Amino acid sequence: MSAHLTFSSTWQAAQPRLSVLTPFLRDDPTSLLEMLEREANALAGSVEIILLDDGTGDAALTARLTQQLANLTLPVCLITLAANEGRAIGRNRLATAARGSTLLFLDSDMRPDSDHFLRSWADLIEARDPAIAFGGFSLLQAPTDAKFAVHRALAAASECVGHVERAQQPEKYVYTSNLLVRRDVFEAEAFDPGFTGWGWEDVEWAMRVARRFEVLHIDNPATHMGLDTVQSLAAKYEQSAPNFARMAQRHPEIVAAYPSHKVARMLKRVPGLPVWRRMMRKGAEAGWLPVKARAFSLRLYRAALYADAI
């Protein structure tokens, strides 16, 4: 697929060791760029940013980004695609475009929790040159609107985990939201392009790569700003069911220990599951229920979707 490339004025002269790779689809990464730009002078061209617009088709957004790039000190490249390629293929494309020996996958809806976020990653590379490292993420800067309460509760319980706890199951807590990967590791184990839509391509990648390389967990978090409503999150879960099944087929021993897989197997035997599944979603959408109850209903809804897929 053809791509249009736009560069900041500092791109050509830079000699980056670290490439920050940020795909987006209908998100606006301008705020993230503003935050990263604060570290530009201290980094002196050692870190580059590559953005991939994966088929957003928003001329106004492209124009804003083009104008922003013209004023940045950071070396930045914007890749604009006319049509969507998908998360796995897009991240592989970003890695191909990168010039650094180490890659940092950073989602466009993330916001660094410190003013030395990139410097901390650069210092880690200098000190240890890790194969893979995950910095973690938080909800410190995330919106607190009531419509996001269920997603906030789910993320706080299962994803916003400290680095000590994450290190006990290193391959489980790996997300491309804030993930450092050495280039030779990524070239040995790229994302599986068979994963389409939303979900699980990063976890499946981690299962493969952890067999060959150490996965390091550190405390350098960024906030996940992109909280979803119940309706939006349920739609993503619906997209993710085939991906979950693909992962379970490839890594049956690991996935069999996942609570979501265990519950899906149990629900598979429940008579009239489609009816129960609709009730689970209604429970998650019921604003009058306590947030914990709604979050539990949404987790059951996801497991019920997976029951049909596995």
pLDDT score, position 87? 72
Question: What's the whole-number mean pLDDT along residues 219-244?
Answer: 94
Q: Which of 193-197, 232-236, 251-255 has the highest mean pLDDT?
A: 232-236
Question: What's the whole-number mean pLDDT along residues 133-138?
Answer: 95
pLDDT score, position 3? 82
Secondary structure, 3-state, the chain: CCEEEEECCCCCCCCCCEEEEEEECCCCCHHHHHHHHCCHHHHCCCEEEEEEEECCCCHHHHHHHHHHHHCCCCCEEEEEECCCCCHHHHHHHHHHHCCCCEEEEECCCEEECCCCHHHHHHHHHHHHCCCEEECCEECCCCCCCHHHHHHHHHHHHHCCCCHHHHCCCCCCCCCCCEEEEEHHHHHHCCCCCCCCCCCCHHHHHHHHHCCCCCEEECCCCEEECCCCCHHHHHHHHHHHHHHHHHHHHHCHHHHCCCHHHHHHHHHCCCCCHHHHHHHHHHHHHCCCCCHHHHHHHHHHHHHHHHHHHC
- Above pLDDT 90, what percent of the chain? 74
pLDDT score, position 217? 97
Non-local (6+) Cβ contacts of 309 within 8 A are: 241, 242, 244, 245, 264
Burial of 275 (0-12, 13-18, 19+ CB in 10 A): exposed
pTM for the full predicted model? 0.88
Greater pLDDT, 206 or 16: 16
- 21-40: per-residue pLDDT in tens? 999 888 899 999 999 999 99
pLDDT score, position 189? 87
- 68-116: per-residue pLDDT in tens? 999 999 999 999 988 878 777 888 889 999 999 999 999 999 999 999 9
Tell me the sheet residues that pair with 216: 133
Mean pLDDT estimate for the chain: 92
246 pLDDT band, cuts 50/70/90, is very high
Q: Which CATH number fits domain 3-227: 3.30.2290.10, 1.10.1330.10, 3.90.550.10, 3.40.50.300?
A: 3.90.550.10
Q: At 293, which amino acid appears?
A: A
φ/ψ region of 86 (left if φ > 0, alpha if ψ in -120 to 50, else beta) reads: left
pLDDT score, position 16? 97
CATH 3.90.550.10 residue spans of the chain: 3-227
pLDDT score, position 17? 96
Answer for the pair 237, 306: CB distance below 8 angstroms, yes or no. Answer: no
